[in-house]
Amino acid sequence: MNNPLLQTFDTAPFSEIKPEHFLPAIKNGISLAKKEIDNIVSNSEKATFSNTVEALDYTGELLDRVTSAFFNLNSAETNEEIQKIAQEASPLLSEFSNDIALNQELFKRIETVYLQKEELNLNAEQNTLLDKKYKSFSRNGANLAENQKKELREIDKELSKLGLNFGENILAETNSFEMLLTNESDLDGLPDGAKEAAKAMAEAKQKKGWLITLDYPSYVPFITYAKNRELRKKLAMSFGSKGFHNNDYDNQSIVLKIANLRHQRANLLGYTSHAHYVLEERMAETPDKVFSFLNEILKKAKPAAKREFTQLESFAKELDGIDQLQKWDAAYYSEKLKQKLFDLDDEKLKPYFKLENVIGGVFTVASKLFGLQFKETNKVDKYHEEVKTYEVSDLDDNFVAIFYADFHPRPGKRNGAWMTSYKSQMKKSDKNIRPHVSIVCNFTKPTPSKPSLLTFNEVTTLFHEFGHALHGMLANTTYSGLSGTSVYWDFVELPSQVLENWCYEKEALELFAKHYETGEVIPMELVKKIKESATFMEGMSTMRQLSFGLLDMSWHSQDPSTINNVKEHEKKVFAETSLFPDVAQNCMSTAFSHIFQGGYSAGYYSYKWAEVLDADAFEYFKENGIFNKDIADKFKENVLSKGGTENPMILYKRFRGQEPKPEALLKRAGLIK
């Protein structure tokens, strides 16, 4: 077969790839990587750092490139055929990864090098790579007996399938819900742009009226602005019950199976729980530290959250006679209260946040801080016409990276926003191989009369994902296994979350927040209101984040075999953090993709953990000027370019000169004075 994935290529040849090319290319990539590993194992020379550890990091390049293209398509532009291939490919990849982790001969060579590391005079990056490679064996069953290795393989194969099923069920449930409104009064309160988008969506499906779906750009405006409480309830109930309908797309048994298999796997490897296993390789280190961290913030946030909830409830009662505030009222009355207190709402802000201007803004911020320039190009192949592609270079025109950006929802695209990479950065044969990085979002689409105008929340999302992209693009390490975002999971959110801070600063907003019709720069009073309202309902928002972190830990830090009812388990966990009455028909776990499909199991706390880092880091910028070149250089040099080459706390202290202090976060959130 003339398979484009098996030809030599630089950027992924998307327009030439057909779904049937993937499986042969994945099998070929596995076969090639196995040969490369056989060459390491059969090397008659004594095991050294370069012929074993370094050689292992350079294996599987083709496989990495093929699978990164494939799995991004499965998230951003999937169909039944691709999903079917994913079901076939995942167990193969899981099996292959076990073939490496359980390869006794390979482990012996790695161990030989590891045991003499004190005499090897390795630099910091080489030391980290050696540690990482050794642990990838010792932590994944290299020391197990044969029958246990077999059991581990079976568990891993099953887990990879279950994760895919979980995600497919959520996508199917999201796509199958439609709320068609034929009476215009049902849209009362909705901004014109949201109405227009709903009408365009109905027309695209040959329907008369206005179509509301569970995709964020449709769901969020309706739940925030629609006056019709019953329709908000209908929408929120559908959103909150994904994977919880006792139908073909039900995720309850999948959640229980995943939690139990992860626990069995951890026990097999000698760990008390999945969380103990995961956290060994995190800044947090242990479940106890995570619980203590989450509970400390909970203690500070809870009084504020209760005050805010009482305030919101009184406001809803006064405005509309609502006796009991429900989950589908939260966004609606929060928005109304925000308008009353700050005279600020997203509709006032959106005209200043035309998508193209915000993209230009984030590029300008990256240029001022890190000396980058972005040039849109049509020479790079893409998987969908909506994807934008850029060549990134430094101010001396040296090539830095290829950057892809995919901004709007489509039926084959999962909800949310994420960053991914198509080609890792590394140094090989005296060449610095530069990365290809992508961000995927789900922002409001342009309509016939309006361009894509972002809510302020979407603006911060774009900056967030772009922060991840900078971590990938500015990578400058020797080994791809330590490059870019290949860092401890509770450190990976620092670059993304710190960049969000620029969205709140006058100096940055003036660069790009310009009215899409008049070109007028965002008025100072609006900037002031954005700043003032930044901590609005922060207590409730913090409680919500903490509840997700605690739910994640409840599934992964104990033996889940006694849990037989997903909903009941969840209710118990939420008892400490819930403000609203429980909705019996809704379940969070069955749609908690971060922990049951993404890589955040026993790691959701890391969003809050990274907020401590980012608040502390941004305080450093604020003290010296938000575009201070020296501080930006220190951040680029010690954080963005270094990837996972050293322990993150060492890197952070090198940048900041001290360990991070939680006070910066609590102060920024308005939870302490």
Three-state DSSP state, 406: strand
Closest CA to 119 of 48, 27, 215, 39: 48
- What is the C-alpha to C-alpha distance for residues 232 and 225, in angstroms, rounded to an integer? 9
CB-neighbour burial class of residue 108 (10 A; exposed 0-12, middle 13-18, buried 19+) = middle
- What is the C-alpha to C-alpha distance for residues 231 and 334, in angstroms, rounded to an integer? 18
Closest CA to 32 of 9, 64, 4: 64
Nearby residues of 360 by Cβ (< 8 Å), 6 or more positions away: 512
Question: Which residues does residue 389 pair with via DSSP β-bridges, in sequence order?
Answer: 404
Count CA atoms within 13 Å of residue 341 on its CB side: 16
Q: Based on the residue annotation, tell me whether 507 is a catalytic residue of this protein.
A: no
- What is the C-alpha to C-alpha distance for residues 381 and 625, in angstroms, rounded to an integer? 39
- What is the C-alpha to C-alpha distance for residues 500 and 602, in angstroms, rounded to an integer? 24
Ranges assigned E (strand) in 543-621? none
The type of residue at 384 is: H
Instruction: Determine which one of 458, 465, 500, 619 is catalytic.
Output: 465
Q: What is the DSSP string of 5-70?
A: GGS--SS--GGG--HHHHHHHHHHHHHHHHHHHHHHHT--SPP-IIIIIIHHHTTTHHHHHHHHHH
- What is the C-alpha to C-alpha distance for residues 211 and 323, in angstroms, rounded to an integer? 30
> What values do phi and psi take at 402, rounded to 5?
-105, 135
220: tokens are 């969020």
Active site residues: 465
